[in-house]
Amino acid sequence: MERLFAGLINFKEELRPSLKPLFEKLAHGQTPELLLFTCCDSRVVPHLITSGEPGEVFVVRSIGNLVAPADARGQSVGDVSEASAIEYALEVLGIRDIAVCGHSNCGAMAAVQKGRRSFADVAPNLARWLEHGEPALQRVRTMHFDEGLGEVDQLSQANVLVQLDHVATYEPVRKRLRQGEVRLHGLWFDIGHAMVHLHEADKGAFVPLDEAELTRLLTT
């Protein structure tokens, strides 16, 4: 708790003065441009890797950055938290970009690879939740990866695409995709190299967002 309290004091004394005008404005509402699904992992800090200020990114965090898909009625087959966030982001906030961000050395993907039933007795809810990541075990076989990328990291990248598919099962997303009013993005954070990768469909791979690649994307 000492670290937490020290951080709270630092916010009050060092950060609050410069941020106070922004928060005074945000007190009247938010207009984020991105809905971001990412993992609970403490090494993944959404506002840090996006350089986002308060009010810019609508963040949903879950174990394994998983999103339970919708059934034929449009209702979530799992936890409704992620589904509610999708509806709120699109129907209320008018967000037009949705991203799923996975990461290297993901414990959830390691558990999926090992088999979630191996720990169902001690963590039954976790075991049930990881069911939504199991389709990545098949998806990974159809993908191409950088040489040297470990099996768990390969699974983690495949899982990003699976979860984007799950996001697209919800009617608010499906409708906007048909109308060209929403875009889906796959991101993957390499923790050791502090590098964000973007999935580029035309290349069929996750590409590091270095300066050259960012310049290319911004000029095309």
- Overall residue count recorded for the chain in this entry: 220
**Cα-Cα-Cα-Cα dihedral of 179, 185, 186, 188, to 10°?**
-170
39 marked as binding residue: yes
Alpha-carbon distance 34 to 114, whole Å? 33
| Amino acid making up residue 132 | H
* CB contact set of 69 (below 8 Å; sequence gap of 6+): 76, 77, 132, 165, 166, 169
Q: Which long-range contacts (CB under 8 A, 24 or more apart) does 172-178 make?
A: 172/86, 172/87, 172/90, 172/91, 173/86, 173/90, 173/98, 176/90, 176/96
Alpha-carbon distance 39 to 44, whole Å? 7
40 marked as binding residue: no
Alpha-carbon distance 157 to 149, whole Å? 10
Q: Extract the annotated binding site.
A: 39, 41, 103, 106
Q: Extract the annotated binding site for Zn(2+).
A: 39, 41, 103, 106
